[in-house]
Amino acid sequence: MTKFLFDQLSYIALVFTVYSNFCYADEFSLDAVKIFGKQDEAYLEPGSVYLINNKELELKQSLNPHEVLKEVPGVIIQEEDGLGLRPNIGLRGAHPHRSRKVTLMEDGVLISPAPYSAPAAYYFPLFSKVTGVEVYKGPSSIKYGPNSVGGAINFVTRDYIKSDSKKSQNATVNLSFGSFNTLKLQSYASGNLGKFDWLVEASRWSSDGFKELPQRGDTSFYRNDVMAKARYSFDALSEKVLSFKLGFSDERSNETYLGLSSLDFKSKPFSRYEASRLDRLDWRHIQMRTDYVHSWSDSSFSELIVYNHNFKRNWNKLNGFTDDTVDIRDVLNAPLQGQNPDFLEVLKGERDSRLSESLRFGINNRTYFSRGIKLNHNYSFLNSHNLDVGFLYHEDQIKRDHLLQDAQMRESGGLDKAEAFIDESNTNTDKARTYRVYALMDSKISNFILKGGARLEKVFLNRLNRITDRSVSREDVIVVPGLGLTYKINQENMSFIGVNKGITLPSPGQDESTAPEESINYEMGYRLRKENLNLDLVAFYNDYSNILGTCTFSSGCTAQDLDVQFNGGEATVYGLEFLLASKFNVKEFSMPISISATYTSAEFSNSFESNNREWGVGRVESGDPLPYVPNLSAVLSLGFNYKKFENQFIYSYRSKVFDQSVDDNRLTVNAFGTLNLMSRYNYNKAFSGYLKIDNVFDQVYVSSLRPFGFRPGAPRWVTFGLEYSF
């Protein structure tokens, strides 16, 4: 019955597309719109929230989510490919790897391929269609799940033409060219006819890539994205609205997990080894959504959402050597020791490999779905109280069909591959089903605003090994409460304090000894809002009773240990978030300036033996650091605007991080800073041109040491673009 219902609703959604959670925010005063971080609506909101609005995104013209999100205080970024194709985002010390400990949403709906059964975010919305980013931390994040130990992020896609616009339709074309034959082509059109509104958008992003394979091998990538929306208002006041959304996107990237040895990184940081020549990821994503909003009165409305997402990916990549006693990571980290020079020559393709030096490749074919029904109701009463309640039924699945393939390296070029065979340890199906209810209440009493509530979830998880036909199930019931208090000192100054529970759920296939990740999170903050001056200062303290680690291939684990989870016991994360934004105006000249900084201390509070490569294999001692969490990250943005010119300089800094917690063989990823420049000329309201230079000084830096070797960030990247609206 459930499948039939979803199939029918998905068929309807194929005709048009949905979107009202944010489309009608102004009319219905949705909670998401009241708490935009850099705007006045956030002034009295308990909890830490932040908005990157459309004007900022248009000026940046960035397709890399890392470049955009690192300006948000409290956000942790772990670069991987230098382009943001596989974003790694954490909040307040939560491990950023694959963004699995952050709830990710697109237009208010869970967007990871399988948020409960496989939360790693291999799909991410193409940023050309994103017109706003909302970051929720502290008590403001409690109604979002499943994994919100650090918080939640929502990506808002393009809205329809404004109903009060003088035109009944408009269209925009944005075309840019850049280094390494990079091309971005984006076009969108929107219109309305009476009670009917529509929007269509299509984008393509492609590049030859900045890394170099021997004999001019292919390191290119492309991404396509098409989105359509439609909505119908049943009455002139838009009290009853039905809307639809349909999206399709795909990617092909000749990207690899294989980095370089320390010696090769120093001499040729943007090179790649021959063994990675055939590494390639292909994926396809389809999303469908139907939305109905009913406004019962000026103070009450309800919203019903039905969504269905499908994602399919296949990643051919080097796994390692057939001799499992040889670790590629050890070969690259110590290229001159023992037999490592011989194995390195094979990786480089400098000689034929012996039988004992055979390479093993993984063909990781995975199919996902994510679907659900969501109901929200918002009611305001007595002019000072607001009740927000909701229900969610959600189910998702990942089906793994992994193959392994052995190959011999040939000095003359290429690989002699044997016939692929089934990876029996990764031929399984994980399923998840959850029922969620939440309730939030905020009340204004004199100069105080009290906001509290909780989320309750009952989650059913199952893993079926399709080789042995063995099934493992578990059931978790979680309660996530939170409470925030705001005190309005005067019209310009306010303070707030909050406490909430953080949670990360175990994945399917884990035994009963694997506990959910849990923390109690505290925050205290101050906000100042004056004309041309904003200040945010927040202190946070997250006390983990159990921190959870997940073994993934991209974190350095072997294929046999994929998705195994480990209890890490107690940990402590605390820090400070700072944001200062101001603007100086002199006649037609203006100079906006902002400083964003985050100090974080993240370490284990107990000692234990670790078999998890994410933390390192060996003894973790109390006080050892959590990997890839910098003590300091900061962004300075300085603008110079004159008449039709807009210019922005952005300097980003990240302090050193450690690649693992275990002290033995722990490596350091050094601190680095980069400068970006964005310049835009607005010829008129319809036509503009822009020049963008990323990494102006061509800084060479290590982005990551996971899973294999030294991997570089992107070099200097110059982009020139034109935008025309009609």
pLDDT in tens, 489-537: 998 999 999 999 999 999 898 888 888 999 999 999 999 988 889 999 9
For the segment 652-664, the average pLDDT, to the nearest whole number, is 95
Q: What value does the mean pLDDT of the chain take?
A: 89
Residue 596 tokens, joined:
């964003």
Count other Cβ atoms within 10 Å, centred on residue 298. 11
Query: pTM here?
Result: 0.91
Burial profile 510-537: b = 16 or more Cβ within 10 angstroms, e = fewer: beeebebbbbebbbebebebeeeebbbb
On the question of pLDDT at 393 being above 50, the answer is yes
pLDDT of residue 397: 97
Tell which residue, 679, 685, 691, 692, has the closest CA to residue 724: 685
Q: What are the pLDDT digits (tens) for 206-224?
A: 999 999 999 888 999 999 9
Structure tokens at 311: 């994602």
- What confidence category does residue 714 fall into, taking pLDDT thresholds of 50, 70 and 90? very high
For residue 536, what pLDDT is reported? Answer: 93
Q: What is the mean pLDDT of residues 115-142?
A: 92
Domain boundaries, the chain: 169-725
For residue 21, the model assigns a pLDDT of 32
Average pLDDT over residues 555-576: 81
Q: Give the pLDDT score at 27.
A: 29
Residues in the chain: 726
What is the spatial distance between Cα 117 and Cα 431, in angstroms, rounded to a whole number? 6
Phi, psi of 113 (to 5 degrees): -55, -40
- Report whether pLDDT(7) > 60: no
3-state helix, strand, coil in the chain (%, to 5): 10, 55, 35
**Which pLDDT value is given to residue 135?**
94
Before 146, cis peptide (omega within 30)? yes
- Which segment of 73-77, 145-149, 207-211, 578-582 scores lowest on mean pLDDT? 145-149
The tens digit of pLDDT for each residue in 53-70 reads 998 899 899 999 999 999
At residue 10, does pLDDT exceed 60? no
Give per-residue pLDDT as tens, 326-369. Answer: 999 999 999 999 999 999 999 999 999 998 899 999 999 999 99
Amino acid 11: pLDDT:
37
pLDDT at 220: 97
Calpha distance 162→181 (Å, rounded): 36
pLDDT value of position 39? 44
What pLDDT is attached to residue 511?
Answer: 80
Q: What is the pLDDT of residue 103?
A: 95
**Distance, CA of 666 to chain centre:** 27
- In the three-class reduction of DSSP (H, G, I as helix; E, B as strand; rest coil), residue 571 is classed as strand
Does pLDDT of 538 surpass 70? yes
Instruction: Write the CB contacts of 619 (distance below 8 Å, at least 6 apart in sequence).
Output: 607, 608, 609, 610, 662, 663, 664
The answer for residues whose C-beta is within 8 angstroms of residue 282's C-beta and 6 or more apart is 250, 251, 252, 313, 314, 315
Q: Which pLDDT belongs to residue 556? A: 64
Could you give the percent of the chain with pLDDT greater than 70?
A: 91
Max CA distance (Å), the chain:
80
Contact (Cβ atoms closer than 8 angstroms) between residue 220 and residue 208: yes
User: Are 232 and 195 in contact, with CB atoms under 8 Å apart?
Assistant: yes
For residues 78-87, give the mean pLDDT. Answer: 91
Kindly state the DSSP code that residue 173 receives in the 8-state scheme. Answer: E
Q: Give the model's pLDDT for residue 658.
A: 95
pLDDT at 2: 40
Q: What is the DSSP string of 181-202?
A: GEEEEEEEEEEEETTEEEEEEE
State the Cα–Cα distance between residues 126 and 281, nearest whole angstrom.
16
Q: Is the pLDDT of residue 1 over 60?
A: no
Quote the pLDDT of residue 561: 67
Give the span between the Cα atoms of 677 and 698, in whole angstroms: 12
User: What single letter denotes the amino acid at residue 545?
Assistant: S
CA distances from 559 to 211, 401, 424 (A): 26, 13, 10
Q: What is the pLDDT of residue 5?
A: 40
Q: How confident is the model at residue 548 (pLDDT cuts 50, 70, 90)?
A: confident
* Average pLDDT score over residue span 425-435: 95
* CATH architecture designation of domain 169-725: Beta Barrel (2.40)
- pLDDT of res. 42: 52
Percent of all residues in the chain with a pLDDT value above 90, rounded to a whole number: 75
Q: Give, rounded to a whole angstrom, the gap between the first and last alpha carbons of the chain.
A: 47
pLDDT per residue over 230-279, tens digit each?
Answer: 999 998 787 899 999 999 999 999 999 999 999 999 999 999 999 999 99
DSSP 512-538: TT-PPEEEEEEEEEEEEEETTEEEEEE
* Alpha helices in 240-374, H assignment, sequence order: 262-267, 328-333, 340-348
